Structures are given as structure tokens and as C-alpha cells.
Chains A and B, each alone.
Chain A
Amino acid sequence: MTQLSPIAQLNRRHLIAAIGAGGAALLAPRLAFAAAAETDRRFLFIIQRGAADGLSTLAPVGDPAFERTRGILAEDFASAAKIDGMFALHPSLATVGQLYGAKQALFLHATASPYRDRSHFDAQNVLETGGTLPFELKDGWMNRLLALLPGSTRAMAIGPTVPPALRGAIEVPSYGNSALPDANAEMLQRVSQLYAGDPQLHMLWDGAMQARSMAGGDAEKGQDPTALGKLAAKLMSGPDGARVAMVETGGWDTHFNQRGRIAGQLKQLDALIAAFKTGLGAHWDRTMVLVATEFGRTVAVNGTQGTDHGTGSMAMLLGGAVRGGRVMADWPGLAQASLYEGRDLKPTTPIDAAIAGALGSHFQIDPARLLAKAFPGSGGKPLDGLVAV
């Protein structure tokens, strides 16, 4: 430890990258990755926390009850082009619209997890753990997916902490854009020693060092959606990049003056997706992105030009790996008699069956096996035909 001073001046990311390239894996012994038949496919889950309004994202403008039930929220679609006989995409979603045109976007409408109540926090827990009841399972379905991946378990939470979907037996690192000045290499080295005898901190620190090395040189410092999309792409691109990752978005709980707020939210989401696609380059062709939320919102507009907690919503599968250009929906209709409990879009497509079907084909894992492992209480059959290549 006497030769540290020359490198103490270096940016720590360069240092770690250098150590990694030398194969010493000094700071992160867990970096010794298996090389066998590793998948070259990628999967990113973008969670929309707060219950995104599917009816304002992909609007059923051809439904006879649409204009009457949606009131002011229908106005955003007055001049929007229909993407098929029934649906129109929100004008904020320009990139997503292009992907649809290129047959790289598949929309699932009237979909939901098994959860049928209206608590954000319980519903997010079900969506992330893959259970049928809140807090029934301790680990997340994405973590259980990792155990089935051929030749790799590399995953990454894009952000400071690890969301519940990625928690579990396999330790998943996290990495976000910090605006704090980098700690110097010597400090990092000494912290490694300080934590050597503390199992929890040792493990977390290893994960942090591993993630930094994956981010490579000049990581994006920004914290806007475009920077986040770029960062996610960077962390998933290299040969050692994560195969599975997750990004969290919030701000979807539009109880009040929904119209302007959802336009901004969707624009942000679109920017995130655009930056991610650009950043991935050729990897995009073998990538799948899932965009999903914990539940939908009421069909009717509430007393404050917003919507309250509902049930059925919509999800997106995006990427070169997706057999897109389609809307999959067993459309229940917006007529009063068709609504779930007289107020919400009735869910007709289980999201767990869709995820298992899509990711099973994507990663060449038997979809039935994946469904049983990732969503053990599901009992349904995985959806077929969601993947292009």
C-alpha cells in the first residue's frame, strides 16, 4: 500500500476500469464472470410508480363511450391519429409511435397484475414481487428470473438503491448519476479495507465497485430522463454489461388536473426510451423493454379534472426483439355495465402471463417454467407470440 499516491490523483472510474482490464479484480472479486454461452439479449423494466393512466396513454378513441366518459381528458386525442381501428397514442409519445410504426412496439391494454385493490404500495409490491397477494413473497420476480438466465446473472438497478423487483438471493448492484465529487482511489481502497470484516458493507461495497466499473469512463452526470436513458444503455452495452436492469419513474398519480401533467410525464418517458434506444446502438435489435404500472385509474374524470385509483391499465413491450406494431387487448369496453366495480377498466389480460411469455421466448427459457418461477401463484398460461427474433 505504499505505491498508491500516483493513482490517487486519477478519476476512480478510470482506475477501476484499469484494474478490471488487468483482470486483477482487486476491488471486486465477484467480477469473475462465467463465460459460458452467455445470452446476448437485454431486458429493461421501466416501472411507472403512482398508477399511470392507460386510458390517457393509449386511448380507446373508437369506443362509443370514450368521449362521454373521458370528458376533458379526451381532448388530447382530438387530432391524434389512430394507430388501428380503436386506439390512438398520446401525442407526447413520438418515439414510441415511431417504434410502433417499425413494428417494435406492442401494447397490452386492459391488463393488470393479480392485485385487485387500490393501494399504490400494495399494488407495487405485487407487481414487483410477482406474488398474488401483497407481501406474500420476499424477493422480486426479476431476481428469480436471473437464476434462470443462461450463463449470466448480471443485473443492475439504475438509481441509488435497489427496487424490490430486483431484490433477492442474487445480489444486484445499483448505480445512479451522483452529482457529488468522486472519492479518490486511495479513499476507495481504504474503505474496502474498512469494510472487509463487515459482511453486509463488504457486499454492498463490492457491488458499488462492480457497478462503477461497468459504467466505464465519463458517466453521465445529469439526472434528467435523457441522461438516465443514456446511462441505462451504457450499463447494459458492454460485453460485461448488465443483461437485466430496472429504471424507476414516478409522478403518475394524477388525481388533480391530469391533462397537462400526463402530457409532461409521457414526454419524459418518451425521452428516456429514445435515449436508451440510441445509446444501445445495435444491441437494440436484441433488446426488450417493459413499461408497466401498478394499476390503472378511474374511467370517469373526478371532481378535480383528474382520475382516482382504478384497476385495468396498459403496458408496453418495446425493442427490436418484440413482435410489435400491434395492440393486444381483449377489449372490455367503457360502457358503465362493462366496468370493474362500476368504475374501472376491467382487466382481461393478466400481465404476469404476458411477461412470462415475452421473457421466456426472449431469453429462450421455457415460458411455463419462467411463469412458475417468476409468478408462482399465477396459475395461468404464458402468452405466446410476443417475440420477433
Chain B
Amino acid sequence: MALAQSGIQIALNRFGLGAKVGAPLTAEPRRWLLDQIGRYDPSPAGIAALPRSPAQIAQLAEIRVERKDRKEEEGADYRKPKLAPAIEGDASVMAAKQPNPEAGLFRAARDSYVEAVSARMAVAGTTETPFMERMVAFWSNHFAISVDKGSVIGLAGTFENEAIRPHVTGRFIDMLLAVERHPAMLLFLDQAQSIGPNSVIAEFARRRGAAKQPGLNENLAREIMELHTLGVRSGYSQADVTELARALTGITISGLGRIAKLIGGEPGKTLFVPQLHEPGSRMVMGKKYAQDGEKQALSILLDLASHPATARHIATKLARHFTSDDPPPALVARLEETFLKTGGDLPSLYRTLVESPEPWASNLAPKFRPPWDWLVALRRASGVDFPAQPTVFALNQLGQQTWKPGSPAGWDDISASWAAPDALLRRVEFAQRLGQKLAIIDARKLAPALFPDALSESTVQAIARAESPAQALALLFVAPEMLRR
């Protein structure tokens, strides 16, 4: 096995994103990590330059208009079967086969996605606050959206940049409110089209005998309780899910779908439309919430955010992320207590984490890096820009396409989900290719600089005996030290 990790290695890898070439290593690991909370920049230059959600929604609305036109022209056969998300490769293939305005717009949305992934890689690959960048990815994954739903491809980057990044050093409730009202989440979990069955609009549709009667879609309500706040099996019932779904009706996006005509206004904004909202008071987990428009749902979210089950859920996930698949109960309990005591103050959670002994224990086995973290570690180690399209391609092949976990539960955070034979072979394939491209880098010098006093003898030997600089670098990239954190 690898050598026991030093404090510096733990700070760099378990809490961070790997050593950055040329950056001085810190002598005070805990201080280095805690200082990052204050130095965190929620909108670094590369991110700030990206398009924002209203522009992306406007683009989506255009796609839908084109699709509607095409549907009218081509009749019932307009819909070409799409590839299943778990099976399919690249959405651009689909777009490329359809030379029409819709395909062009779809490609533009796809380009925005590539640009956003690339910006994310550039930030992670160079940031001076890697612990906070880890938290960005953690929260983004906790509140996961997935671009296998075509409508959110162009919005995925805006979701992280607008709903997650601004709140990473804020309070849990503020992140929750931003997330549940972001257009990407409203589209991903179908909230934008969920309508109260007894709302003004539904009554109107009934009187007119409309073919499609509007009604509830409980997707977002369920995932808020199961994934975003309380956690599964924490005491809520199907009735609570349906009640929350009713309370959420009215929260939608301007400029999209059937309701675009109704509400008008500037497209791409999240807003509350009273005519879509289900009338009446709601009962969620034994508490009554008066009919109060949008405040009804917000009051429920507020209570969910401070519920003890939510504290336990978040504490467990955080502890697992920074220690092991089965996190130490004492650490979970400490984080839970911090969450409840501070009302979900996220920096307090980070401080508890860094100041706790468990993540620093010398006998704690390091976790297997998921593909994103591995690629970021290579980026930081090599100090070379990764071009946009190849980055997206590589992440897809390595099994972790950014913002595409395939389900609202996000990527799994246990070793068995990543450490697998074919996944490892793909890393070797990719490392060989990257090694050839970056062969100018001398792995013999780089390795000890990245892992001072922590390089295993077998890695040193493998690099020393490599047949070429390219192979030496490739072997360093797939060395045990690089694969784990």
C-alpha cells in the first residue's frame, strides 16, 4: 500500500484537488484550508464571463418554437427516437443529423455546455482555494441536475454558477431556496409545468373542455424531501410529498411552454404565478401551512432546511465525502450538531470538518478519485490548459460526464462506484495519450514535487525505468498516489 499520508498530503488531496505544479506547499495544513473560506471567490473571471440563465432560456424557447413548426410540417412522425441516456454517447451526433434551425440552436446550447465545462475545469485546475472548489462540486452534486434531459444542457453551467457558487460560504437555506427556484431545476424536475388541479387555470381548462387537463407533477417535491433536505426513510410520507407538490404549484419560468402566453414578461425568469397555484392550506409532516401564495412553499422549505433529519443527512454526506464510505459516527454527530446549532451555516460545517481528528487519521484509507477529480489533479499537476472539447470527450469516456449523473441523486460517493476494472483501464488509455501530448514534462522531477516524502518506491521505480518521457508521465498519472485522495 501507499505510504501513510502526511498532513500536507491530506490537505492537498483529501480536502483539495491535488498539488498545483510550482505552488509552494503549506507548512500549516489546517490553517491553509480554513483560510480558503475567507478567500473564496464566488464568481471567478472565467465563470463570470459565461452566459446567464435568461439568455439560455430564451435560446430554449426558440428551440421549442422551431420544433413546433417542424412538428406541424412533418406531422406525427416528427419525433425521431432518441438514444437512452445510459447508453447514448454524444448529443451533438443527434443534432448533426438534422440540418434544420432547431438543430443549429441545439448545437448552440451544446456549445454553451462545453464552454461551461471548460471554464469549470480551468477554475478547478488553477484555483488557490481548492477546498472551496471541492465544496462547489459537492453541493452541485448534492443538488444534482442531469443534462441527459435535453432542455437543461444549455442551463447546466448557469445552475452551478448562479444557484451553488454564490452560497458555498453562506447558509444551507439560502442555497436551497436558490436551487429550488433556479430555471434549470424547475425544468429538470418538471416543476415549471406542474399546475394546481383546482387552480384558476385548471378550472378554466376544465370549463373549456381542453384535451390536456393541467395538473400536478410531484417529481420536484419528492426529490426535495428525499435528496435535497430530509433524506430517504426519514419519516415523510407519500401524502407529504403530494402536499409539497401542491404548495409548489405556481413557481414556474417565464417565456416557456403553454404558460408563456399567459404570463408574458421578460423570458427566463423564475416567478410565481398565482393562477397556477393550488388553493387551500397544506399539511406537511403534521404542520399546517396557510394559503399564502408563494410563501406557502417557502415556509415549508424553511422548515425542511432546519429539520434534524436534514442536519443528519447533510452531515453524513459531508463526512463520507471527506473520510470514507462508512463515515465515523463521531464525525457525523459533530457535523450534525454544528448544523443544528448554527442554523445550517456552511462555513461552520467546513471548520468542524477541518478541526476534527477523523479526516486526518493516519490509518484512514484514501478514497478512490472519481474521474473529474482525477482529471483536475492531472490538470493541476501538469500546469497545462486542457482544451474544451477534448475535456468533455475525456470525461465522457472516463465515465463522469460533467452535470450528467443520469439521476437527481447525483454521482455516487462510494469507492465501489468508481474503482472498477474497465474504469481503471480507461484511465490508463487516457493517461498514455495525455503523456504523449505533455512529454516535455519530466516526470522524474514532477513526481517528488507533487508528493514530497509521500512517493511510493514502486512509483519512483516505474518512472525511472520508463522507456520514454511520455511513458514516465503516463505512469505517474496512473500511479496509486494520483488515483486516490
Q: Which A residues are within 8 Å of any B CB, using their own CB? A: 49-50, 72, 117-122, 134, 157, 159-162, 164, 167, 173-176, 178-184, 186-188, 190-191, 193-201, 204-208, 210-212, 223-225, 228, 248-251, 253, 255-256, 260-261, 263-265, 267-269, 272, 302-306, 308-309, 341
Contact = CB atoms under 8 A, between A and B. Distances in A.
B193 interface: yes
A211 B425 CA distance: 10
Interface stretch (B174-182, B215-223, B347-355): B215-223
A135 to B, nearest CB: 9
22 contacts: A49-B86, A117-B233, A118-B238, A119-B233, A120-B409, A161-B399, A164-B416, A174-B421, A181-B429, A187-B474, A191-B478, A205-B421, A207-B420, A224-B83, A224-B88, A225-B84, A253-B407, A260-B79, A302-B215, A303-B195, A304-B193, A304-B215
B389 interface: no
Contacts of B298: none
B433 A181 contact: yes
B420 A187 contact: no
A167 B475 CA distance: 28
Contact of B86 (A179, A182, A211, A249): A249
A178 B193 contact: no
- Looking at A197, A250, A269, which has the most chain B CB atoms within 10 Å of its CB? A250
- Does more than half of chain B's interface fall in helix, strand or loop, or is it mixed? loop
Across chains A and B, which 6 residue pairs bring their CB atoms closest together, nearest first? A303-B215, A250-B86, A207-B421, A208-B421, A264-B81, A161-B420
Contact of A208 (B81, B190, B393, B425): B425
Interface in B416-433: 416-426, 428-433
Interface in B1-22: 1-2
Contacts of B197: 303
Interface in B79-95: 79, 81-89
Given A190-B466, A194-B478, A178 B425 contact: yes
Contacts of B475: 190-191, 194
Contact of A204 (B232, B233, B419, B432): B419
Contacts of A188: 428
Interface string B426-467: 101111110000000000000000000000101100100111
A308 B242 CA distance: 11
A128 to B, nearest CB: 12
A224 to B, nearest CB: 6
Interface string B62-81: 00000000000000000101
Contacts of A167: 416
A3 to B, nearest CB: 13
A194 B458 contact: yes
Contacts of B428: 183, 187-188, 191
B479 interface: yes
B483 interface: yes
Interface in B463-485: 465-467, 471, 474-475, 478-480, 483
A121 B413 CA distance: 13
A180 B429 contact: yes
Contact of A304 (B190, B431, B456): B190
Contacts of A182: 429
B423 to A, nearest CB: 5
Nearest to B397: A180
Nearest to B189: A255
Nearest to A302: B217
Contacts of A187: 428, 432, 471, 474
B interface residue count range (under 10 / 10 to 19 / 20 to 34 / 35 or more): 35 or more
Given A120-B409, A175-B422, A190-B462, A309 B83 contact: no
B217 A255 contact: yes
Given A183-B428, A194-B459, A263-B81, A161 B422 contact: yes
B483 A268 contact: no
A213 B124 CA distance: 37
B417 A161 contact: yes
Contacts of B397: 178-180
Contact of A250 (B79, B398, B406): B406
B148 A190 contact: no
Given A121-B407, A191-B478, A160 B214 contact: no
A201 B483 contact: yes
B86 A251 contact: yes
B422 A173 contact: yes
A248 to B, nearest CB: 6
Nearest to B435: A187
B222 A309 contact: yes
Given A224-B83, A251-B86, A268-B87, A194 B462 contact: yes
Interface in B301-360: none
A250 B399 CA distance: 14
Contacts of B459: 194
B429 to A, nearest CB: 4
B97 interface: no
B127 to A, nearest CB: 27
B424 A208 contact: yes
B1 A199 contact: yes
B462 to A, nearest CB: 4
B81 A267 contact: yes
A20 B374 CA distance: 32
A50 B86 CA distance: 11
A300 to B, nearest CB: 9
A200 B484 CA distance: 11
Given A194-B479, A201-B424, A256-B217, 18 more contacts: A72-B212, A117-B233, A161-B399, A161-B422, A179-B89, A181-B432, A188-B428, A191-B428, A191-B475, A208-B424, A225-B84, A250-B406, A255-B219, A267-B81, A268-B84, A268-B87, A303-B195, A306-B217
A207 B87 CA distance: 23
A316 to B, nearest CB: 17
B226 interface: yes
Nearest to B479: A194
B84 A160 contact: no
- Looking at A187, A196, A206, which has the most chain B CB atoms within 10 Å of its CB? A187
Given A118-B238, A302-B217, A198 B418 contact: no
Contact of B421 (A50, A211, A272, A305): A211
Interface string B188-222: 01100111010000000000000011111111001
Contacts of B212: 72, 305
A205 B86 CA distance: 24
A268 B420 contact: no
B87 A249 contact: yes
A225 B87 contact: yes
Contact of B84 (A191, A194, A250, A256): A250
Nearest to B245: A308
Contact of B399 (A160, A164, A267): A160
Contacts of A197: 1, 456, 458
Contact of A178 (B409, B422, B432): B422
Contacts of A225: 83-84, 87
A196 to B, nearest CB: 7
Nearest to A259: B79
A196 B214 CA distance: 62
B416 A264 contact: no
A303 B214 contact: yes
A208 B422 contact: yes
Contact of B87 (A179, A180, A201, A223): A223
A203 to B, nearest CB: 9
B423 A174 contact: yes
A204 B424 contact: yes
A195 B428 CA distance: 12
Contacts of B421: 162, 173-175, 204-208, 210-211
A79 to B, nearest CB: 13
A302 B218 contact: yes
